[in-house]
Amino acid sequence: MGRLDGKVALVTGAAKGIGAATAELLAREGAKVMCTDVDETEGQKVVDAIQNAGHTASFMTHDVTSEEAWEKVAGETQRAFGGLHVLVNNAGIAPDGIAIEDLPFESWKRTLAVDLDSVFLGCKYAIRLMKECGGGSIINISSIMGLVGTPRSSDYNAAKGGVRLLTKVAALECAEAGYNIRVNSVHPGYIDTPLVRNVVERSEEASANELMGMLTMLHPIGRLGTPKEIGQAILFLASDESSFVTGAELVVDGGYTAR
């Protein structure tokens, strides 16, 4: 018996990093997984690997900032798999690393669109589908930067802090309406993914090795996290094992925010 047998899951940003690891874990636990991303080539590879392991998945190209695209993905998930029980709002981009006084308004708006608008749209379309399926679980990927501030990350901090509270409102609305839909946020520390590798490599302040060393020291556990370690937390929230958990913040950060 898988922990998600009979469930349908949708994972955004599933082509790499946390999304790819999560899609693989959810599928291995019995979910039929709709994987979406803007990166069609890498996304299809993730789906091929899931299918080759004997599990069920499908890929759709999906820009999470587009309401029209969300409507299409929701419709196709319903058509292909018969409903939706788990949504992982994972797709995201890193901050531009620029102080507020210099940050172009367009950069601010882009980060807010990909990292926050997407989560609103995902909740909107998932609630509509899940309430027809008797309930579900929405997992919104925030960050430690949704809990504490970091200089030169105003766009990302604002978006991820927004995800934290949007999650609580969605949880309350679903509970009040009696939809049996739980909504929670996950707050990873630094995780070794392409997103972090890109930030490290384009830094002008230190070499990639120095920067990885500095990031490691921020985590009392003494290392960065792995995508699978975030996937395991998401799996718990997706499964019925977390049936009394809603509106919660699950921090998975190697102790980053403990001090």
Q: Which amino acid is at 161?
A: G
**Nearer to ligand NAP among residue 8 and residue 35 (C-beta):** 35
Stretch 33-52 residues interacting with ligand NAP (CB under 6 A): 37-39
4, 35, 50, 64: which one binds ligand NAP (CB under 6 A) = 64
What single-letter DSSP state applies at residue 114? I
- What is the distance between the alpha carbons of residues 72 and 178, in angstroms, rounded to a whole number? 26
**Nearer to ligand NAP among residue 166 and residue 191 (C-beta):** 191
Closest distance to ligand NAP from the beta carbon of 88 (Å): 9
CA dihedral 48, 111, 64, 51 (to 10 degrees): 10
Per CB under 6 A, does 195 bind ligand NAP? yes
Per CB under 6 A, does 16 bind ligand NAP? yes
Helix (H, G, I), strand (E, B) or coil at 26: helix
Helix (H, G, I), strand (E, B) or coil at 88: strand
Are 140 and 185 in contact by the 8 Å Cβ rule? The answer is: yes
Which backbone phi and psi does 181 adopt, to 5 degrees?
-110, 125
Q: Which residue in the list 156, 179, 190, 256 is annotated as catalytic? A: 156
Per CB under 6 A, does 123 bind ligand NAP? no
9, 23, 24, 65: which one binds ligand NAP (CB under 6 A) = 65
Closest distance to ligand NAP from the beta carbon of 218 (Å): 11
Closest distance to ligand NAP from the beta carbon of 253 (Å): 8
116, 141, 158, 170: which one binds ligand NAP (CB under 6 A) = 141
- What is the distance between the alpha carbons of residues 200 and 193, in angstroms, rounded to a whole number? 11
Are 249 and 164 in contact by the 8 Å Cβ rule? The answer is: yes
**Nearer to ligand NAP among residue 90 and residue 239 (C-beta):** 90
139, 191, 235, 251: which one binds ligand NAP (CB under 6 A) = 191
Is 179 annotated in the active site? Answer: no
Per CB under 6 A, does 143 bind ligand NAP? yes
List all residues 6 or more positions away from 113 whose beta carbon is below 8 Å from its beta carbon.
65
Closest distance to ligand NAP from the beta carbon of 223 (Å): 12
- What is the distance between the alpha carbons of residues 218 and 211, in angstroms, rounded to a whole number? 11
Structure tokens given for 253: 């950060």
**Half-sphere exposure of residue 146: CA atoms within 13 angstroms, side-chain side:** 27
Per CB under 6 A, does 17 bind ligand NAP? yes
4, 7, 11, 19: which one binds ligand NAP (CB under 6 A) = 19
Per CB under 6 A, does 219 bind ligand NAP? no
Q: Please report the beta strands in 71-123, taking only residues with DSSP state E, as ranges in sequence order.
A: 86-89
* Residues within the interface to ligand NAP (CB under 6 A): 12-13, 15-19, 37-39, 62-65, 90-93, 114, 141, 143, 188, 190-191, 193-196
What positions carry a catalytic annotation?
156
